[in-house]
Structures are given as structure tokens and as C-alpha cells.
Structure 1
Amino acid sequence: MASSSGFATSIALPKTTTTMESSSSLLHLHNFSSYVPFSSSRFHKPSKAITMASQRAFVFIPKCDVASSGALIRDDKIESKPASISALEMLKTSAADRYTKDRSSVVAIGLNVHTAPVEIREKLSIPEAQWPQAISELCALNHIEEAAVLSTCNRMEIYVVALSQNRGVKEVTEWMSKISGVPVSELSQHRFVLYNKDAVNHLFEVSAGLDSVVLGEGQILAQVKQVVKTGQGVPGFGRKISGLFKNAITVGKRVRTETNISTGSVSVSSAAVDLALMKLPEPSYANPRVLVVGAGKMGKLVIKHLVAKGCKKMVVVNRSEDRVAAIRNDIKDVEVIYKPLSEMLACAAEADVIFTCTASKTPLFLKEHVQTFPPVNHQIGGQRLFIDIAVPRNVESCVSNLETSCIYNVDDLKEVVEANKEDRIRKAMEAQAIIMEEVKQFEAWKDSLETVPTIKKLRAYAERIRASEVDKCLSKMGEDVTKKKKGAVYDLSVGIVNKLLHGPMQHLRCDGSDSRTLSEILENMQALNRIFGLDTDISLLEQKIRAKIEQTQK
């Protein structure tokens, strides 16, 4: 515990604790919603691939279907067919991917702190400025219609509307491998794949802070908002994906407003400060020299939490002084010393605890740098603490081999939130009730989009008949028909068509305004398609795929 008299008043924990072992039960806690029977559809018998993965010390998360290599092998066999067969014919004749419905799927594919170590996640990290380019590249894939990217220090998750589940997942996985350099076989060991309702439920849990290392974390909601802001106007950030993320924002706001899940919760930044307190020796007179590298969003939060824990002096290294000056104006009675990036190593050599939180793509602290630093005060424990909460990491991993240094990254924050499990479970259960309600509403909205093509085709069909019959009528009336009479005939024909279409249109609407179930509405849609001959020769999905194939061949 930290006393009010100073920053470094904490009880040190053993440094030999293995992160994966010590946090295994906690990871299950943070995914406890997978075990609570809110929806029986989310339970299934573990596959052989999942069982093998859990034996290799990976955390088993029931709601995530960890794809086995077998699926990729089957796809490879399909791809190896003779080139003389067209791509569309291969799709239409594939038993695994035969299109039986004109319905695309919402799919979530990714890696997060629960399924992959930081060594893997940092290779797939995508800066916010590159999200639009990533969306464009994903939507250029044959089976991907819409896409969004959520990349943070704890997760890199891709949400897509796929024309085919299996092939869409395969294409996205290969794209992830291409941009990261991580082999598909290795990605398949760590990734999770969720479909439709499970994918929606997962994003809502993420936005609500239920899937974070720290339950109720607020920063993730801001990151979800940024996905929507960045995606506006980007081709490929379409109606379904946009609606999904906007609904996720609503969920995040409701959970934090209607429950007390945020009460007493901490962010990644505050957990980093608490971790430093836990690792420092207990004596209160050991006042550490603190260095913060980076004054962005994460750095600003680190500084504020340091102040809240009693730290009265710190050095902040940043590219420019503007952000540091703004932070200095927000806090009182604390000495915040700015240093430029060029003096980072010199400042680190004089620091006992170093927090790193920059967006650098390459490590800032290398082993060859750190091994030249003078030793820290023995009262601090004889080791310089690096708390690296950046992804990609700012401190080279081999620095941990030095006896004079100790590194902790975002994956090590799990032990900070071990306490108060029962209270967190109760809060999360309250949030799950809201999530269930919002998932149901989103699914109803998404399903209502399925009838839109039939509504449009039925309206166009009626309009063609109306226009043709009006032309016949007017031609029989002769050339001396006044404009007023022509208008009357036109209005009469429109009125008749609208009244005749009113009933069928009402039976196709799926907005929750009546008592009809989704299955009834879809049956009505299929009946109208048959009665009026609205179906085309090939399915809507196959039409979209044909268009994509033709576009790539140009």
C-alpha cells in the first residue's frame, strides 16, 4: 500500500512470479461472461485445436473459436484446383462455402491480451493514421465487403462483413500475416474468430470495458469512438460496420452511466503506476527518481496518477515542450521538468523508475544503452525499473537480461488487478444485462437490412408495370389529352400501386414496431420473391463476388 507521505511506499512482490501462471485465473475472470449462461448459443464443445492450445499454456476462452490449421489446409486444397476453372465456379461448387442464403456475416478476427503475448501483438499494431488504408486493403479482398480496425496496446482486432465466413477469415488472416511478417500458422495459434452475434457481443463487451485488463477501463471507449471518427467517409466503412461501432459506443456509455463499473476502476496508465509501487521496496524514505518518456494520452495519464500517488517531482521527455507545459498547468505543487528527446538517455541514466509510453515503432532503450547506466540506489532495490506500456514496446526485451534492470510491460499489469474479484464479477453481471439488450436491438436492426433488396425489387417491379400501363392508357386517349388529365391518370396509377404495395411492404418491415418475428418476415420475403419472380439467376453474394473478381482482373 502507498502511504500519503510519498510515492514509493509499497510492499515488494517476488520478482520470480511468472506472468502467465499468476494471471491465468484472472484472465478467466475477465472473460467470465463466456461462462455465464446468458446465451446458450455461445457454448460449444472445445475443438481439438483449442484443447491442444490450452495444453501449451494459452488461455482457453470458450467464446472464441481458435481456428485450427485444418481449415487453412482445406482452403489451400480448394485454391489448388486447375486454373481453367473460373474463380466464381470454384466458389459455387465448393461444398465448404456453398452460398445458400443471400446473407453476409459479421466476423471479428484478432488478437488481444488474453490470447497473445505482447511479442506477437506489437508486430500487428496498426497506427491510427493507417486505419483508412487498412480498411481499403481489407475491402479489396474478394470476400470482404466492409471493414474496421481497432488497434490498441491490448488488442488488434479486425471487424468485417464477409460474403463467406471461411474464405473471409482465410483472406483476413493472410492479410494480417502479410503486414506483420508473422506466419499464418503462428497467427492461427493466437487469434480468435467470432461470428455474427458472438462478434457483436464481443465488441460491446470491449466497449463496456469488460474485456480489458482492468475492468471498466475508460480509455477503450474513447478508442472505439476514434474508430468511427476515423472511418467516416472511408470507402469500406459501410452501413453495417458503422452501425455496429456506433451501437458499441452507446453500450459503453450506458454501462458506465447505469452501473458503477467505473467506480474504483483504473486505466492501463494507473495500473502501471500501481505496478511500480508494488515492485519498489517498502521503506518510505526511498523516494525514487521518476522519468516519463512520452507526453501523449498515455503519458499524461501516467503523470496524473503519479501525482495522485504522492509523487512530487518527475522528469518528462517529449519531442516538444507544448504538451508538457499543458500538463504542468493542470497540476499544482508538483515539479514537472521537461527535457527534449535528445537528452532521453542522459535522463534515464539518472532515473530509478522509467515509464515509457510513446508511439515509436522501434525500441528507444537498447541493451547497449542501458548497460552503461550507473547503478541505482540500493535503497530502491538495486535495479532500475522500466514500466513499458507502449505497443510496440519502447524497451528492448533483452534489457531484462541485465542484473541492474527489470522490465515490466502491459502483459504484467494483470497482477495489479487481482484484488476484489467478487465485486468486479457483480459489476460485470450488471453490465451484461445492458449488453444483452443492446445486442438484441442491433441484431434486429441488422436483420431488417436483409429485406431491403426485396422491398426495392418489389417497388421497381410494380413501377415498371404502372409506367407501362399508363403509357398504354394515354396512347389510347389520343394526342389532345390535356396536361391536367395526364396528371390525373398518373396520380391514379401511383395511388393504386401504393395501396396495393402497402400490405406486402408492412409484412417485410423488421423494425420492431409490430409483433411479427424475424422468421415470419423472412418467410414473407421468400414468398414475395417467388410470387413476383424477384430472384435473380445467381445469388446476391455471388453477384458481389463476381464484381470483385472482375474489378481485380482489370
Structure 2
Amino acid sequence: MSILVVGVSHHSAPIQLLEQAALSPQGVQELGSVVHASDHVAEALVLATCNRLEVVVEADTFHGALAEVGEALCKVTGLTGDDLMPHVYVHYDERAVSHLFSLACGLDSMAVGESQILGQLRSALSRAQEAGHLGPVLNPLLQRALKVGKRAHAETTIDQVSRSLVALGLERAARVLPDLTASRVVVLGAGAMSGLVVATLVREGIDDVTILNRTRDRADRLAELHGVRADDWSRLETLVGAADLVVTGTGALGHVVGADLLTRARTAQGRAGAPMVLLDLALPRDVDPEVARLAGVRLWGLAELDEELDRARAEGETTDDVELAVRAVREIVDGEVAEHLARRRAARLAPTIAALRTRSAQVVEAELTRLDQRLPDLLPQEREEVRQTLRRVVDKVLHTPVVRAKQGSTEIRAGDLGEAFRELFDLDPYDAAAVSAPPAAGPHLLPDHDDSARGRGSR
């Protein structure tokens, strides 16, 4: 059994395709169910954010699971294989673990180091747990990824030097609006992205903020949390028309702000031609790109902000501090990946090593029984001395191969080593005696989690 990650993100696909692949909450649930029901998949999680759609699975076979996940992605997103597959990336086993840990740390984000991904990964984990799609392989792995992400933000300066999309957007807005801190701001949506937006606005000293959401209660809660206002969704046109800055992140599947609406709203408020900025942080887009043609209006969406980030890097706006922080996070990730693989390696070999030790103990007892028949007059203390000598010989013979098997290079898969041991010593690692009563010698190791031990019914 191995870990497989299949996905598309801003690294591999244009924003237009990510828009087409964007799923509603119901779509995310459907994708998880379709993948989990596949023949070659035992556990599954779907991570859907504004700039990525990833499926993480525990795979019985690489090619079988990859084909099934690809088919599920096409089925649920409505994209054809020809449209989607050229932009799909695949991470397998060790690379999959490294990718998940890096992702949790924000190293794979559009704005490197942002911490919002931790909340998104936590939500995806909760959804998969509630749906019964996780088990003893993915659940602890994803829990570990969250801990690695928290550790990276706690032990490095990545939070201080990372540039979030919100901060970058406000930076650009300040170049257009006469006084950003005195601007009237409307935030559309009350989800995780909107919460980050409002927190950033308040931290920057911008207090004329109104939150609109289709569910008023959520807008009220977010407004109360940050000491700003909430209003009814029905007043969207009036409030947007009077705003200097509009930030959107609703997750709606259609445009919330169109060119006609904005023209009508600004005219009604006597603000036609006045400076205005819209930051569209949603995918699919909340704002019709045509609004950028209106006099005085500047629009930045995710694609434009990504270009701004690239331009900032090219112009040297990033510093050595950023590189140092990223390097420190990568060191944490590398160490955590190595530790995880070592634990998994030991767990996979545990049944085989237990069987080997059991077989050795049986050989010792058989030889002692034969010795009793040949030397019936052997004194008890002499017999015990022989027993201990035989055990020491066996332990010394087994010590080096067992240690090297558990600590050896990951270039040799634990499954391959286990198979070699089983073939050479004619072992059954899942024999009841070997599993339930392993000899006391050697460190205790947890049994491996694979279908030969637990069956497909573990879903």
C-alpha cells in the first residue's frame, strides 16, 4: 500500500482551467465518495482551495489508483481527459509525503509561507473523517502534516517574511486609492478567505469595513469578531457602488459583480469615474473581468496577483530573509519526512521480523528437545546454560540483518526486504503465533497496515 497524490494547482495549470475545475462543497463531497469507492483505493481525501484541487489516496496499486482518480476528476469536474491530464501532477509514496508536509507549511502556495492552507487542510481532514474515507494510513499522515505546518510557523520566520495575496492586493490598492486607511471597504463572503481579509484590513488600520454574505448570521459573527459592520446581501449594489475597495471571496459559481451592476451602482452613487479597486480572491471569479474596462476601476484577480508576485521576485523585492526562512522550513520538512518514512519502514517490517524471531525461538526449543533425548542425564543448570548459549548465537546472527533492515536506505523498499526475508526463511508474518506472541527479544514494533492483514472491509 502506498500514498498517491493527484492534482492540479496554480503551478501546473492556468487560472482559467482551475476555474473550470473548481467544485462546490457538494462537488468536493461527490469527488471524495467516487474516489473512495474505487477498486484500487482504500482511503481518500480531497483538498479543494482557490488555486488547487488535489486527491490524496492510499493506493493498492499505482497504475490502477491513478487511472481511477483521473476518471473521477473528469467525471466530477466535467472536464475531458485531454483538457485536464496535461496539467495534472502526480506524487507517489516518499514524494507524496514530502509534498503534503511542504503543502502544510505553505511552501507550495501561491504566496509562499501563507498559513491559510493549514485551516483548509484541517477542514478537508475533518470532512474525510466524517465521511468515513480515512483509516490507519492517511489519517495519521495528514495529522502529522498539520503538526509539521504548525511547527514550521512556530520555529521559523516564515510568517514574518511571507507575502499573502491579501497583503499584496492591499499594497497594489494603496497605489490607486488616495488614502487606503480612509477607504470604504466592502468584503463579499464570510468564509476562511474573507476572515483573513477582514483581519488584515483591521490590522492595517482600515476600520470602515462592511461584510456581506448570503447567510447574514455568518457575516454578523465575522463582523463582531473584528469590530466591523455587517449588512444584508440585498444591499450589495448600493454598498458596492459607494465603496472605494471591494474584496471578494464568496465561492459562488457565477459572477457576483458584473459590469452592468457596477456601472449602475456607481452612477447611482455619483461615483462614476472615481478611483476604485476590486480584489477578486475567489475561484471561480466573483467579478466579471469586463469591469476592468470601466473608468477609474482597477481589478486584480488571482491570475493578476500571481503575475505581481512573479514581478516582485524578478525585481528583487524578495530578500535574503525570505530565502533563509524557506530554507529553514525545508530543513524541517526533510527531517519530518525522513522520520515518517523510518517509522513506516519499521512498521511494515514488524510482522516479518516478529515471525523470524518466533521461528528462531522454535528452532532453539526443538534442538533442546533433541538434546534432552540424547543426553537425558544433563543437569538442569547445564541445560539452561546450553539454552542461553543457543539463544545468544541466534540473536547475534539475526542482529545485523534486522538492524540493517529497519535502518537501511529507503532506496530499498520495506516491502521488498520483507519479501526477501519471507522467501529466505520460509516465513508467514501473519501466522497467529508470530503476531500474537512475538518473542521478547528486540524492540516491539507495530504491525503493518495493509490489506493482507486487515481486509478490504476496513473501509
Which amino acid counterpart does residue 344 of structure 1 have in structure 2? L
Question: What is the aligned partner in structure 2 of residue 488 from structure 1?
Answer: none
How far is 1:128 from its partner?
5.3
Q: How does 1:374-393 map to 2 (within 5 A)?
A: 374=266, 382=274, 384-393=276-285
- 1:442 matched to 2:315? The reply is no
Specify whether residues 376 and 346 from structure 1 end up closer, same or farther in structure 2 by C-alpha distance, changes over 3 A only: closer
Specify whether residues 125 and 456 from structure 1 end up closer, same or farther in structure 2 by C-alpha distance, changes over 3 A only: farther
Question: What is the aligned partner in structure 2 of residue 523 from structure 1?
Answer: 417
How far is 1:441 from its partner?
0.9
Q: How does 1:52-451 map to 2 (within 5 A)?
A: 104-127=1-24, 131=28, 133-232=30-129, 234-278=131-175, 280-281=176-177, 283-284=178-179, 287-331=182-226, 336-374=228-266, 382=274, 384-402=276-294, 405-414=297-306, 415=308, 418=313, 419-451=317-349
Specify whether residues 324 and 523 from structure 1 end up closer, same or farther in structure 2 by C-alpha distance, changes over 3 A only: closer
Deviations 1:142-190 (CA, angstroms, capped at 9, x unpaired): 3223221111112111112223323322221221111111221121222
The answer as to whether partners of 2:272 and 2:295 remain within 8 angstroms in 1 is no
Specify whether residues 520 and 303 from structure 1 end up closer, same or farther in structure 2 by C-alpha distance, changes over 3 A only: closer
User: Aligned partners of 1:310, 1:516: CA distance in 2, in Å?
Assistant: 55
The answer as to whether partners of 1:385 and 1:406 remain within 8 angstroms in 2 is yes
How far is 1:354 from its partner?
1.3
How far is 1:110 from its partner?
0.9
The answer as to whether partners of 2:223 and 2:230 remain within 8 angstroms in 1 is no
User: Aligned partners of 1:233, 1:258: CA distance in 2, in Å?
Assistant: 31
Q: Secondary structure at the match of 1:373?
A: helix
So what's the TM-score if we normalise by structure 2? 0.74
So what's the TM-score if we normalise by structure 1? 0.62
Task: Tell me the percent identity.
Answer: 25
User: Aligned partners of 1:154, 1:138: CA distance in 2, in Å?
Assistant: 21
Which amino acid counterpart does residue 211 of structure 2 have in structure 1? V
Specify whether residues 349 and 526 from structure 1 end up closer, same or farther in structure 2 by C-alpha distance, changes over 3 A only: same
User: Aligned partners of 1:362, 1:406: CA distance in 2, in Å?
Assistant: 20
The answer as to whether partners of 1:125 and 1:392 remain within 8 angstroms in 2 is yes
Which amino acid counterpart does residue 346 of structure 1 have in structure 2? T
Specify whether residues 183 and 444 from structure 1 end up closer, same or farther in structure 2 by C-alpha distance, changes over 3 A only: same
How far is 1:529 from its partner?
4.0
Q: Secondary structure at the match of 2:158?
A: coil
Q: Secondary structure at the match of 1:111?
A: strand
The answer as to whether partners of 2:210 and 2:229 remain within 8 angstroms in 1 is yes
Unaligned runs of 5+ in 2: 367-390, 431-447
Specify whether residues 511 and 223 from structure 1 end up closer, same or farther in structure 2 by C-alpha distance, changes over 3 A only: farther
The answer as to whether partners of 2:104 and 2:145 remain within 8 angstroms in 1 is yes
User: Aligned partners of 1:274, 1:224: CA distance in 2, in Å?
Assistant: 27
Specify whether residues 200 and 167 from structure 1 end up closer, same or farther in structure 2 by C-alpha distance, changes over 3 A only: same
Unaligned runs of 5+ in 1: 1-103, 470-498, 549-554
- Measured on the aligned residues, the alpha-carbon RMSD in Å equals 4.1
- More moved, 263-272 vs 204-213: 263-272
Q: Secondary structure at the match of 2:211?
A: strand
- Runs of 4+ that moved beyond 6 A: 376-381, 455-462, 502-512
